[in-house]
Structure formats: structure tokens, C-alpha cells
Amino acid sequence: MAFDNQAFEGGFADAVYDAQTCFRALMDALANPGTIQSLTAETQPPLPLTAELGAIAQALFDHDTKVWLDSRLAASSAVREWLSFQTGLELVSEIGEAHFALVSDIAQMPPLDVFAKGTSEYPDRSATIIMALDGFTGTQTLQLQGPGIEHVRDFAPSTLPVRFSEQWAANAALFPRGVDLVFAAPKTVAALPRSTKLIKNGN
């Protein structure tokens, strides 16, 4: 594959250190659902791929990783080339084949149940959906319970998928199968693993 010059630019300044710090932030977010973790590792990918999605991609993806892009990201050859050069990933068009999904437009994303949910024998063969959003001061506050949460934790992402409470309840009912969610906002990241339950929301 021939790459445009833009594909070679904008990756981690220190590939090993930045990947490690980003990975640690993601693990902390998954272990403590609904908490906001600092994401200090920086990338400068071509738009509409955000800096945070780019950093997470560099930290998690490699040549064995199958990744689905939403329509806005997939439409950009610069984004596709940057991701391919920086990570070596395999881009897939069949959403159910993807280990990870990158979503730049949460309002238009497909329903959660079309992503890979794992199997009874291999629940780890499920998808992690990584979504870009503006921040964590949204008007709709979710109340979370589950592993990593002592009692109840409030979580208010700026944007949520359509009919999120209904979709998430169906996902939680599949446990230990089901998808995991990562929310990436400017210089921050948060997560909802499949083990997290909603006890109250604004829907």
C-alpha cells in the first residue's frame, strides 16, 4: 500500500512511553467504571479522527487487530492510511468481525447488539467500542453500579447512543458476553465495561 505523507506524521512522540501511559489510563478507566482518567499521550491524526482516538488506537491496535470505522472515519482516506501506517491494523467492513470499533459520531452509531458479543466459551471475543465525545458534563446523568464501584457512581458523558439505557440493559444481560465501551474526550478517557449496570438514568 502506498501511503500519503500525512500518514507518517502525528504519531506518538515517544512510542513506548506514550503507549504505556495511554494503556494505563485505559486500564484504570475500565477497572473504575465512570471515572475520568487523564489521557496525556498526544497524537495529531488527520481529522475527523480525534487526538484521543488516535492515541488509543496506537496504544491498543497492531497487525492482529480487526477494526471497524464508522462512516465518517471510513470515508477519509487520510484517516485510513494514518491508522494503517501507525498501527498495522486490519480494517474490516463487516461490523461483527471487529475486535474494536472507532466511532466519531455517537448519535449515528449502529446499535450495540450488532457488534461482536463473544461466545459462551470465549466471552473475550467481543468488541470494544471507542467513542469520541466532547466531555463528561452532559445533561443526562447515569447512575452506575457494579465491580469497581463501591456504592453508586454518577456518570454524565456529553453524548450517548440512542436509547442507551435499553441497549445497555440488554448488553448487561448477556454477561459474561457483551461489548465494552470507552469514551474519549479531550485529554480524558472513561469506560463502561460490560459488568457495569445502570440503576437510574434520564431516558
- What are 40-89's pLDDT values in tens digits? 988 999 999 999 999 999 999 999 999 999 999 999 999 999 999 999 99
Grid coordinates representing 9 are 506524521
Nearest to 61 by CA among 82, 40, 37: 82
Instruction: Kindly state whether residue 8 falls inside one of the protein's structural domains.
Output: no
CA nearest 56: which of 18, 112, 93? Answer: 18
At 203 the pLDDT is 41
Domain membership of residue 116 as a residue range: 15-198
- Please tell me the least confidently modeled range out of 10-24, 29-43, 60-74, 87-101: 10-24
What's the grid cell of residue 151? 456504592
Tell which wins on pLDDT, 113 or 7: 113
Count of the separate structural domains present in the chain: 1
pLDDT at 200: 59
Q: How distant, in Å, are the alpha carbons of 32, 65, 137, 167, 200 from that of 91?
A: 30, 8, 32, 25, 36
Q: Tell me the per-residue pLDDT of 108-122, one tens digit each, with 9 for 90 and over.
A: 999 999 999 999 899
Q: Residue 2: its pLDDT value, please?
A: 53
Q: Is residue 20 part of a domain?
A: yes
Q: Given a cut of 60, is residue 201 above it in pLDDT?
A: no
- The CATH number covering residue 22 comes to 3.40.50.11310
Does 2 map to a domain?
Answer: no
Q: Model-level pTM greater than 0.85?
A: yes
For the segment 88-106, the average pLDDT, to the nearest whole number, is 97
